[in-house]
Amino acid sequence: MTEERSHTDSVEDTLVSQTYREAAVEQVPDELDQAVLQRARQHSSDRYSRSVIWLRPMAWAATIGLCLAIVVEISNVPQPTAEQLARPAAADLMTTGGKLDEKAVPVKRITGGTATTDTNKAIAPQRAETEVLRQRARKTIDDQGRVSLQDVPQHSKTEARESEFVPAETRESLESKDNGALLAPMLEEADRVSGLRTITITASPAAAAEPQATCDVKVRATPQTWLECIEALEEDGLDDVARKQREQLQAVFPNFDMP
């Protein structure tokens, strides 16, 4: 007998309780036991089944959705090589701190050439184009940080026609801003557009030969090295370029005794 009952129930009668316990010996019928337990099992399994009904489709939907998201994300990643190739040119322009003239801005690279979906085929010409543009930018910047038009070779007819595809707002922006730092984003944008379009660039032979047909700023630091560069141009058959370089050398170093 518990302590609780002993102190709260002064009406306790041991004989009555004992006699009752001797009399009350009925047991629950087995079929009743089974019915209740079966009901308990059924309700428990029903609850489990309900949860399974919701959980499995949700799990599958979540898995499929995750896979689709990954696929879409991967397919939307921009082609890295095109941008990575284009950025050094813009970075070089920014580091020079020079001012660019309108014609020296390398934004005329969006060409009307044959479009292709083959990225590898498109990257090679773009890389060459980028290098050409970088060389052009270097050539056109003088010692004072000013950019001259004389050194920039004439564009081929194809390039001139291609320049018509440059957006007007881009041209205006380039005309109004002569700061290289401000120009860099625009160049990057132009590079990005060209990279995304994956257009095959058909560079002219003259443009391809230009990297060797120039005298960069370092060479033009002294009249001797500049002259050597001019002579090298003449040996390569680039007489027009050499002539312009001579004229410029004469203007920069008027006291230099040029042969």
Partner 1 sequence: MIDASVLDPGGLALSRTGTVAYAPAMDSRIEDSALMLRYKDGDVGAFEILYRRHNNSLYRYLLRLCRHRDTAEDIFQEVWGKIIKARARYRPTAKFTTFLYRVAHNCFIDHVRRNQRHQNTVDLEPDTQRNPGDGPEIETERYLARRRLEVALQDLPEEQRDVFLLHEEGGLSVEQIAHVTGAKRETTKSRLRYAVKKLRAAIDEPTEAP
Q: Which residues bind partner 1 (CB under 8 A)?
A: 1-5, 8-9, 11-13, 15-17, 19-29, 32-33, 35-37, 39-41, 43-44, 47-48
* Closer of 9 and 228 to partner 1 (Cβ): 9
CB of 48 to partner 1, least distance (A): 6
Integer Cα distance of 163 and 168 in angstroms? 10
CB of 54 to partner 1, least distance (A): 15
* Closer of 10 and 176 to partner 1 (Cβ): 10
Q: Are 199 and 115 in contact (CB under 8 A)?
A: yes
Q: Which residue carries 């590898």 as its tokens?
A: 120
Q: Are 206 and 116 in contact (CB under 8 A)?
A: no
CB of 14 to partner 1, least distance (A): 8
* Closer of 16 and 70 to partner 1 (Cβ): 16
CA torsion through residues 209, 210, 213, 219, sign: negative
CB of 56 to partner 1, least distance (A): 17
* Closer of 10 and 255 to partner 1 (Cβ): 10
CB of 44 to partner 1, least distance (A): 5
The three-class DSSP label of residue 229 is helix
Radius of gyration of the chain (CA): 42
CB of 4 to partner 1, least distance (A): 5
Q: Are 196 and 82 in contact (CB under 8 A)?
A: yes
CB of 64 to partner 1, least distance (A): 28
Task: Find all residues with CB under 8 Å of 108, minimum gap 6, and list them.
Answer: 155, 159, 162, 163, 166
Integer Cα distance of 157 and 167 in angstroms? 19
* Closer of 17 and 224 to partner 1 (Cβ): 17
* Closer of 19 and 79 to partner 1 (Cβ): 19
* Residue spans of beta strands (DSSP E) within 73-189: none
Token pair listed for 245: 């370089």
Taking residue 146's Cβ as centre, other Cβ atoms within 10 Å add up to 13
* Closer of 2 and 255 to partner 1 (Cβ): 2
Please count the residues of the chain.
259
